Amino acid sequence: MSWLIRGNEYLLLAQALAENALSRYDIQGATIGEKTFSGSEIEGLKVQHPFYDKQVPVILGEHVTIEAGTGAVHTAPAHGQEDYAVGLQYDLPVECPVDSRGVFFEDTELLAGQFIFKANASVIEILENTNTLVKYEPLQHSYPHCWRHKAPVIFRATPQWFVSMQQNGLRDAVNREILKVDWIPDWGKKRIELMVGNRPDWCISRQRFWGVPMTLFVHKQTGELHPDTQALFIKVADKIEKNGIEAWFEADIEDFLGADAKDYDKTTDTLDVWFDSGVSHFAVLKQRDELSDVADLYLEGSDQHRGWFQSSLISSVAINGKAPYKQVLTHGFTVDKDGKKMSKSLGNVMSPQKVVNNLGADILRLWIAGSDYTGEMTVSDEILKRSADSYRRIRNTMRFILANTAGFNPKTHQLNEDKILDLDKWIMSKTANLQIQILQAYEHYNFHQVIQLILNFCSNDLGGFYLDVIKDRQYTTQENSIARRSAQTALNHILETMVRWLAPVLSFTAEEIWQSMPDEKNDSIFLQEWYQVLDASYSNKAIDTARAINPFIRKQMEQMRHDKIIGSSLMLKWIFIVMTTPINC
């Protein structure tokens, strides 16, 4: 800090801003003094208010910069977050001279009854009259505005109700419970740990004309709650349950307090909406005997680490001493093909209802399940078209299996294991092993892996190999032959298994398949358990080899057809030379 001197008058300025101030203030005959001070040297120094008969202390704050101005700013702890924070450090009084209309209170000296922004002219006039104004000029700068009305706003410190994070060790208790929860993805744990660790006390009161009321009675003199507050909560709740939420706002204090009414005020505050949703563990789970008081899973977008996940956690630990959930799953947000957030103003919003109307609900569900929800999920007409193609691949596979099990009765036609042909045993074992992977993916909510596994199975193991190989058996052998019934036995097992895999995602399609299956179905697919008949232990290296070289053979045949060497694959006879000595290739 340095002095700006003219005669016996001094201005205290930031050294880096002194030259600029001298130029801007246009003070004739002023010089910059040689004496300088560090901020800590003048910390606590009392300075005279320019027009009130009081002194205020010099304090230090990280929010003050030397980019412009004087290096000193006015501090009003009741009118700004940074001012409030630095005021707490110096134990400054939180005095708010402005009412809820933006008008100075009647006991505000010199400015009583004036609207805050109109009072600016009065302040300039007072400074000029007291000869304490060095320079006045309009300054264009960033200022907070109401997002809805586009009008300038001010911050006011007002009496509120808080949940203390420190009293009774609530913050520490919440942190301990965070460690017991399974966070999906796992970075969610670190995210909420940081938020809880850095958060202030939770302000749970709001001044709104709608919402859940804070049913409190406050003593007019002491500010204390009524000693029977707990019993009054129940009394008020009963009244609201019978007559609706308006019962509280319309009721007189006498309705609840009787003779005590003259000493108390009824609060008009409403609860923070995050408190509403945050106590769903109590309002829903705790009130139903058939439900556990701890939810299996909370599911929401990544913004809810600051919102619902956190409000639920804090309220549950405060009330029950434990987290309200066993698992928390966080998903990303849906963006357009360019990765931009969807908004009506950009015209890039894709209506789910239109997608359902045009493509069907199952294709929308398939796109969602097939996307990696741990990051942002991209959607466009082209992406949905690819999902529709994937859906058709699955549906056509199931249609083929249904067509080839027509007339097959599992109770009378299904073969015992010793009669099933090797290829059919192989595909059944393949299906059983795939189910292990799919159930693990479902267990860990990796739905996109489920879809990838099913699509690969339909395209490669079934459509690209097994279903093609068994066509001759299905279409040329006798109806009750071992060859045909063996294939149908395998197909029925695959059908029973796959319809269950599909049900959580392609719900409507799975139910349609279930009702079309060979065995008479009177119930729903959604009442079934996973299919567990298949044997996953069978292996056959010869078939594995045939399956492995099948894509190569198909590629060669397609090329030969393209080159008009052959007209049909039936014109070919393949000879394989097997090396007896293993080679690397």
Q: What is the pLDDT of residues 462-473, one digit of tens each?
A: 998 899 989 988
Among 59-63, 157-161, 243-247, 382-386, the minimum mean pLDDT is found in: 59-63
The span from the CA of 90 to the CA of 451, in Å, is 60
Q: Is the pLDDT of residue 458 over 70?
A: yes
Average pLDDT over residues 96-114: 86
Between 98-107, 295-304, 371-380, 560-569, the lowest mean confidence (pLDDT) is in 560-569
State yes or no: pLDDT of 114 exceeds 70: yes
- Is pLDDT at 585 greater than 60 in this prediction? no
Residues 552 and 585: beta-carbon distance below 8 Å: no
**Phi and psi at residue 170, to the nearest 5°:** -65, -45
Mark residue 339 as left, alpha or beta (left: phi above 0; alpha: psi -120 to 50; beta: remaining).
left
- Residues forming a β-bridge with 270: 206, 213
- Say whether 439 sits in a helix, a strand or coil: helix
**Which whole-number Å values give the CA distances from 512 to 182, 396, 517, 523, in the listed order?**
35, 13, 9, 12
Between 115-124, 443-452, 550-559, the lowest mean confidence (pLDDT) is in 550-559
* pLDDT above 60: residue 583: no
- Convert the pLDDT of each residue in 502-528 to its tens digit: 999 999 999 999 999 987 677 899 999
Q: How far is CA 171 from CA 122, 273, 295, 306, in A?
A: 47, 21, 21, 15
Looking at 415-506, list the stretches that DSSP marks H as alpha helix, in order from N- to C-terminal side. 422-443, 447-456, 467-469, 471-476, 482-502
Token duo for residue 116: 């805050």
Which range has the worst mean pLDDT, 200-214, 373-387, 455-469, 559-573?
Answer: 559-573
Q: Which of 7-16, 48-57, 341-350, 400-409 has the highest mean pLDDT?
A: 400-409
* Global pTM value: 0.76
CA–CA dist 297, 281 (Å, integer): 11
Residue 164 confidence (pLDDT) = 93
- Which distant-in-sequence residues (6+ apart) come within 8 Å of 439 by Cβ? 530
In the predicted model, is pLDDT for residue 369 greater than 90? yes
Please say if the pLDDT value at position 142 is more than 90. no
Percent pLDDT > 70 in the chain is 95
Q: What is the mean pLDDT of the chain?
A: 87
Read off the pLDDT of each residue in 140-151 and give the average, rounded to a whole number: 84
Least-confidence region, from 68-77, 278-287, 326-335, 380-389: 68-77
Q: Mean of the pLDDT values across residues 418-444?
A: 94
> What pLDDT, on a 0 to 100 scale, did the predictor assign at position 422?
92
Query: What pLDDT does residue 77 have?
Result: 80
pLDDT band with cut points at 50, 70 and 90 for residue 584 = very low
Cβ atoms of 312 and 280 closer than 8 Å: yes
Q: Please say whether the dihedral angle defined by the alpha carbons of residues 17, 22, 26 and 27, taken in this order, is positive or negative.
A: positive
pLDDT number for residue 175:
96
What band does 139 get if pLDDT is binned at 50, 70 and 90? confident
In tens, the pLDDT along 521-565 reads: 778 999 999 998 778 888 888 888 878 877 777 788 888 888 888
d(CA 83, CA 61): 9
pLDDT (0 to 100) of residue 96:
84
- What does the CA dihedral 369, 371, 372, 376 come to, rounded to 10 degrees? -120
More confident residue, 536 or 309: 309
